[in-house]
Amino acid sequence: MTERGTPLPAAPRAAAGRRRSPAAAACVLGGAVAAGLGLGFLAVLVIVLWISSPYPDSGPGGALHLAAGLWLLAHGTELVRYDTLSGVPAPVGVTPLLLVALPALLMRRAARLGSASGEDGDGDEVLPASAVFSAVTCGYLSVGSLATIYAAAGPMPADPLSAAWHVPLVAVFAAAGGVWAAKGRPVGPLPHWVPGAVRRAAARPRYPLALRAGAAGALVLLGGGALLVGASLAWHAAEVQASFLALTEVWSGRFAVLLLSLALLPNAMVWGAAYSLGPGFALGAGATATPLGFAGSPALPRFPLLAALPPEGPGTLLTCATTGVPLLAGLAVGWFAVRRAREVSYKETALTAALGALVCALLLAGLAAVSSGPLGSRGLASFGPVWWAVGAAAFAWTLLPAVPVAVAVHSWRTRPARQAEALASDADDDWHDSGVRELRWEALRRAAGALVPDLTQDPPRAQAPASAEPVPASAEPVPVTAPKPPRRLTVVTGVHLDLTPVPAPTAQTVPTAQTAPETPTAPADAPPRPLVAPVAGARVLTRRKPQD
């Protein structure tokens, strides 16, 4: 405002925009750098393998194009392979889940750094979360579009339609996670643009508990899948070693196969979980591996992880025993669905467990969809578990044991409170019964003997003195004093008295021959001895008021 009270022009707003522009540009640059770091890591790895290969198929340009294609494959983009024996282009859609962690972590770190800029008191204005999210995502997608164009000239170009929604999907989720972590992981109310009914429903405590229970069940299923894969690899160790050595004879090729196997291990964990749930996974057209049997004859390539598949034919008792993994997942969902507080009902606990089973099913269905895809055409067009079948099986397997376990755990945790309430109610009823208090008091009086008087009898009333002679009218009235009521005693138990005689203080006198020798006195600095003995552990009984 000026001196005359008129508002200033909009210059401060322009200045604020200028102050914000460096921070927004830094966020855009951070997103681009995150994408560049992921591309650079894969490019260095591919170049090292190309240099160490004794028979390279192409020059360094082809290796760099292949690195761009692998970076897009890490986002879930489907690649197309043209150099096939049949001449028909073969799609490659199985995404190594370990590669997805590279762009996701880099994008999340860029969003966190963009949200934290300006909070250290360096003079820059802090950008809102929406601005940081938009700027980082724009920078990342700009590099992603360039990588898609560059990979189109390589041996394995990316499908443009697949890259158009897979790369933004990974970028959006990773950037949202980074901004949310930078803001302290708030679990408060949703934004104002969300409908009120949704905000009120999300504020209920059952939904965080359901998310926790569902995540616990999914982790148990994935852990069981990893255990099954490890046991199968150990069981078929000879076949795994033979397939690994038969693929290539040079150490660079074996190192590449080892890296690819490690990148596909999370996929194998998801497939093992799908196998234990029952639907299993497909190994091409007409071939499916389930605990009940391995049907079909798939045309599988030689690969170490594929050598650990169960043998063809009907299932055995050992393969059917893998269904114990989803039962353990259901127990985990039921255990984590119970609240710590004890003010909820059994219906609320059962509903939370059911929601936890639904969350677990959604997580497994999403992981099954990401880990599967085509590895070629015709026989290998369908490879991996079917997401909707895995989700339905996970919901059914976890729902059946989760609800009874949650109700049982809720009852067990509230058992001490119920017992305390029952004992308190029984004690109150017994104390207020007619005659119980009198019986207890009589028992205490008999046990104490003469220390407790008999207060059940009425005290004697005052009576006028009997006199045979009439009292003359002129005589002064003689005051009649009412007798004192009986003294009420208070019984104190647990009293420890010090009966040592205490000498009474006397005046100084002249000693005589007949005076007895004086008792040795305490030193002058000693504290005075108390005249009343201390009382420890006293318990005062209730006195009863005499009846009139």
**Within a domain: 1:** no
Residue 212 scores a pLDDT above 60: yes
Query: Considering only CA atoms, which of 208, 169, 213, 225 is closest in space to residue 370?
Result: 169
Claim to verify: residue 72 and residue 33 sit in the same structural domain: yes
Three-state SS sequence of 9-37: CCHHHHHHHHHHHHHHHHHHHHHHHHHHH
**CA 394 to chain CA mean position, Å:** 20
**Within a domain: 284:** yes
Is residue 353 very low, low, confident or very high in pLDDT (cuts 50, 70, 90)? very high
Strands (E), 274-356: 281-283, 288-290, 293-295, 313-314
Asked if 392 contacts 361 with a C-beta cutoff of 8 angstroms, the reply is yes
How many structural domains is the chain composed of? 3
Claim to verify: residue 255 and residue 395 sit in the same structural domain: yes
**Within a domain: 455:** no
Claim to verify: residue 325 and residue 422 sit in the same structural domain: no
Out of 130-144, 368-382, 395-409, least confident range: 368-382
Name which residue leads in pLDDT, 330 or 199. 330
Of these ranges, 51-65, 259-273, 410-424, 497-511, the one predicted with the greatest mean pLDDT is: 259-273
Mean pLDDT, residues 190-219: 82
**Within a domain: 138:** yes
pLDDT tens-digit readout, 487-514: 554 444 444 444 455 555 554 444 444 4
Claim to verify: residue 365 and residue 426 sit in the same structural domain: no
What pLDDT sits at residue 28?
Answer: 93
Domain boundary among 423, 444, 465: 444
Claim to verify: residue 423 and residue 361 sit in the same structural domain: no
Claim to verify: residue 295 and residue 390 sit in the same structural domain: yes
Q: Is 489 helix (H, G, I), strand (E, B) or coil?
A: coil
In angstroms, rounded to a whole number, what is the distance separating the alpha carbons of residues 325 and 72?
Answer: 34
Name which residue leads in pLDDT, 390 or 343. 390
Claim to verify: residue 403 and residue 421 sit in the same structural domain: no
Residue 460 scores a pLDDT above 90: no
pLDDT tens-digit readout, 232-247: 999 999 999 998 888 8
Claim to verify: residue 166 and residue 209 sit in the same structural domain: no
What pLDDT sits at residue 545?
Answer: 56
In angstroms, rounded to a whole number, what is the distance separating the alpha carbons of residues 459 and 465?
Answer: 18
Burial of 491-511, coded b for 16+ CB within 10 Å and e otherwise, reads eeeeeeeeeeeeeeeeeeeee
Claim to verify: residue 208 and residue 339 sit in the same structural domain: yes
Residue 41 scores a pLDDT above 80: yes
Is residue 62 very low, low, confident or very high in pLDDT (cuts 50, 70, 90)? confident
Mean pLDDT, residues 134-150: 94
Q: What pTM value is reported for the model? A: 0.71
Q: How many residues does the chain have?
A: 548
Out of 350-359, 366-375, 518-527, least confident range: 518-527
In angstroms, rounded to a whole number, what is the distance separating the alpha carbons of residues 460 and 450?
Answer: 19
Q: Where are the alpha helices (DSSP H) in 236-309?
A: 237-247, 251-263, 265-277
Name which residue leads in pLDDT, 439 or 28. 28
Considering just the CA atoms, what is the radius of gyration of the chain in Å?
A: 44
Question: Which tokens in the block code for residue 26?
Answer: 């830094």
Mean pLDDT, residues 212-238: 94
What pLDDT sits at residue 361?
Answer: 96
Residue 365 scores a pLDDT above 50: yes
What pLDDT sits at residue 509?
Answer: 45
Domain boundary among 134, 159, 186: 186
Residue 479 scores a pLDDT above 70: no
How many angstroms separate the first and last alpha carbons of the chain? 85
What pLDDT sits at residue 493?
Answer: 46
Domain boundary among 411, 433, 459: 411
Mean pLDDT, residues 467-492: 50
Asked if 339 contacts 209 with a C-beta cutoff of 8 angstroms, the reply is yes
**Within a domain: 460:** no
Residue 442 scores a pLDDT above 80: no
Claim to verify: residue 290 and residue 168 sit in the same structural domain: no
Claim to verify: residue 372 and residue 424 sit in the same structural domain: no
Name which residue leads in pLDDT, 356 or 415. 356
Residue 275 scores a pLDDT above 70: yes
Residue 542 scores a pLDDT above 60: no
In angstroms, rounded to a whole number, what is the distance separating the alpha carbons of residues 139 and 73?
Answer: 19
pLDDT tens-digit readout, 103-122: 999 999 999 998 876 555 55
Claim to verify: residue 145 and residue 174 sit in the same structural domain: yes
pLDDT tens-digit readout, 75-108: 999 999 887 777 778 888 899 999 999 999 999 9
**Within a domain: 529:** no
Residue 249 scores a pLDDT above 90: no
Of these ranges, 33-42, 125-134, 527-536, the one predicted with the greatest mean pLDDT is: 33-42
**Within a domain: 44:** yes
Is residue 524 very low, low, confident or very high in pLDDT (cuts 50, 70, 90)? low
What pLDDT sits at residue 547?
Answer: 56
pLDDT tens-digit readout, 176-192: 999 988 888 776 666 67
**Within a domain: 170:** yes
Asked if 335 contacts 353 with a C-beta cutoff of 8 angstroms, the reply is no
Q: Is 47 helix (H, G, I), strand (E, B) or coil?
A: helix
Domain of residue 304 covers 203-411
Asked if 292 contacts 220 with a C-beta cutoff of 8 angstroms, the reply is no
Question: Which tokens in the block code for residue 253?
Answer: 């090729």
Residue 208 scores a pLDDT above 50: yes
Residue 344 scores a pLDDT above 70: yes
Name which residue leads in pLDDT, 130 or 547. 130
Q: Give Cβ neighbours of residue 350 (< 8 Å, ≥ 6 apart).
A: 403, 406, 407
Residue 250 scores a pLDDT above 60: yes
| β partners of residue 81 | 90
Mean pLDDT, residues 400-409: 93
Mean pLDDT of the chain: 78
What pLDDT sits at residue 514?
Answer: 47
